[in-house]
């Protein structure tokens, strides 16, 4: 069955780089797009970016200068890297499968706290 | 970016019908989707493309609308429906979410 699981450090210092991994199973990365969505504590959802089935990427314009999404299809993994982290980047980061514009499978999410 | 506006909160009694609205700042065709999120959990897809029920979702949930005005209806509401409901559009880049409507039961 379809599964996604996020992993990464729970705590990142301000100005440092966040690296997250989304490990997927039950579907092919070359046939589906994977997106990252984040949610600050007690707040709403924000689309972060995506890697499409062909390998191209799209990013939230507010984050684009700091963000990179890539993948390793042989390992069924998608990576998110965001630099120059600030306290406002504190959030739960979800990876999600989006075959047709909506998000029908989600990972459990990983809480990332930006603090010194 | 396309702004999606939702009312912040609603309170209803079990057994009643509730409608949750989502208004888009520009047209999104029928590419509006709805999610339910309970505390400590990931969002769950309820409705895709305005009116299509996602797999495994009870028929008490339904969606309608097109263009800029959309509605998620729950009829009848059950105690387990206490949650926050988000709309999301995928017609315009970038994808955007509404701020969510918190549904409480009386």
Average pLDDT of chain B to the nearest whole number? 96
Confidence at residue A99, expressed as pLDDT on a 0 to 100 scale: 79
Q: List chain B residues with CB under 8 Å of A104.
A: 45, 48, 54-55
Residues of A with CB below 8 A from B35's CB?
45, 103
Q: What is the pLDDT of residues B27-66, one digit of tens each?
A: 999 999 999 999 999 999 999 999 999 999 999 999 999 9
Closest CA to A113 of A8, A10, A4: A10
Please indicate if any CB of chain A lies within 8 Å of the CB of B96. yes
Helix (H) or strand (E) holding A106: strand A105-106
Confidence of residue B7 (pLDDT cuts 50, 70, 90): confident
* Contact indicator for A61, A49 with CB cutoff of 8 Å: no
What is the C-alpha to C-alpha distance for residues A1 and A21, in angstroms, rounded to an integer?
A: 19
Interface test with B, best of A44, A52, A63, A99 (most B CBs within 10 A): A44
pLDDT at A7: 97
* Partner-chain contact B95 A47, CB within 8 Å: yes
Give dist(CA A90, CA A101) in Å, integer: 26
Q: Which of A44, A60, A108 sits opposite B100 (nearest CB)?
A: A44
């Amino acid at each position: 069955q379809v599964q996604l699981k996020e992993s990464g450090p729970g705590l990142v210092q301000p100005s440092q780089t966040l690296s997250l991994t989304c490990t997927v199973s039950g579907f092919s990365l070359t046939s589906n797009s994977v997106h990252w969505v984040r949610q600050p504590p007690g707040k709403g959802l924000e689309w972060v970016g995506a890697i499409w089935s062909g390998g191209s990427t799209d990013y939230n314009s507010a984050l684009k200068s700091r963000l990179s999404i890539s993948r390793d299809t042989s390992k069924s993994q998608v990576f998110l890297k965001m630099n120059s982290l600030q306290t406002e980047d504190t959030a739960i980061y979800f990876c999600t499968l989006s075959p047709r514009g909506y998000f029908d499978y989600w990972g459990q999410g990983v809480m990332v706290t930006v603090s010194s | 970016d396309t702004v999606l506006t939702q009312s912040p909160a609603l309170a209803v009694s079990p057994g009643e019908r509730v409608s949750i609205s989502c208004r888009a700042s520009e047209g999104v065709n029928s590419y509006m989707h709805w999610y339910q999120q309970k505390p400590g959990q990931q969002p769950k897809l309820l409705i895709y493309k305005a009116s299509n029920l996602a797999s495994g979702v009870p028929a008490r949930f339904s969606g309608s609308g097109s263009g800029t005005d959309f509605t998620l209806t729950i009829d009848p509401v059950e105690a387990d429906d206490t949650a926050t409901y988000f709309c999301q559009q995928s017609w315009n880049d970038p994808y955007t979410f509404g701020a969510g409507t918190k549904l409480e039961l009386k």
